Amino acid sequence: MIGHLKGTVLSVATETAIIDVHGVGYEVNGTARMLDRLQPGEAASLSIDTVVREDFIRLYGFANEAERHCFRLLQTVSGVGAKAALAILQVLDPAGLLDAISVGDDAAIARAQGVGKKIATRIVTELSGKAPDLMAVVAGKAGLAKALAGKGGKAPADVADPVMPAAPTGAKADAISALGNLGYDPTVARQAVTRAAADNPQADVQALIKAALKELASV
C-alpha cells in the first residue's frame, strides 16, 4: 500500500492531481482545499491513503498525517464513505473536527456537502469516545507532551481533554453557533469558545460569547 508520495505536480484538476514520482504519474484524489495548494511544476509531499475495492484502486492525498487519520476515522462511522469524509475535511481541518466532536457541534459537520444532519449526529455520537485518539494525532504526541510540561502538567486550552469539556456541551455549542451567526469562521469560533470555556468552566452561553469575542478582538 502507498502511504506517502513525494514528487512533482504534473497537473491539477477539480478533484484530482497527478504527482510525478521518478517518471511515474500517480493520480491522487483530495479536498479542494488541498488541491488548491498544489501548483504544476512544483514539489509536493503528501500523506496517502490507498483505498482498494474490487473494481478500482484509488489514492487519496492529504497535507499531513492528522488529515489522513481523520479521513480513516470518519469512515469507521456507519454511512460515511470516502466521498463524505473528504467533504467533511473540506470544511473542517483536524482541529476543527476535534472541536466539533468535543462539543457536540453536529451542525458544523453537517455543513459538508452531501452530509446531512442525521449522519453528522451519528459522527459526533460514534466518534466522541475516540476523541482522545484524535486529540493525540492532532496535537502530536511529542508536541502534546511538550505542551503539558510547559504548563506544569496541565494541558493548555487548545489541547484540553475533549471527553470532558470545560463547560456544558449545550453552552459551548450555542456560543459557537452564535459566533457563526455573527460571521466568524466556524473553526475560529470553536477554538475561541473552547479557550474561553477552559478559563471559566461554569460560564453560561452569554459569558462564553463575551469572553470569546474579547479574545477574537485581540487577535
Q: Could you tell me if 150 and 169 lie in one domain? A: no
Q: Could you tell me if 47 and 22 lie in one domain? A: yes
Q: Could you tell me if 114 and 151 lie in one domain? A: yes
Unique residue bearing C-alpha cell 514539489? 43
Q: Could you tell me if 82 and 40 lie in one domain? A: no
Output the domain CATH number for residue 70: 1.10.150.20
Confidence band, pLDDT 50/70/90 cuts, at residue 140: low
Q: Could you tell me if 97 and 145 lie in one domain? A: yes
CA 15 to chain centre: 19
Pairing mode of beta strands 16-21, 4-12? antiparallel
CA distance 52 to 135: 28
pTM over the 0.75 mark = no
Torsion of CA 78, 82, 88, 90, to 10 degrees: 180
Q: Which of 134, 156, 178 is the last residue of a domain?
A: 156
Domain count, the chain: 3
| pLDDT tens digit sequence for 75-114 | 999 999 999 999 999 999 888 888 888 778 888 899 999 9
Confidence band, pLDDT 50/70/90 cuts, at residue 159: very low
| pLDDT tens digit sequence for 17-55 | 999 999 999 999 999 999 999 999 999 999 999 998 888
CA distance 16 to 92: 19
Q: Could you tell me if 99 and 183 lie in one domain? A: no
Residue 21: give the domain boundaries: 4-63
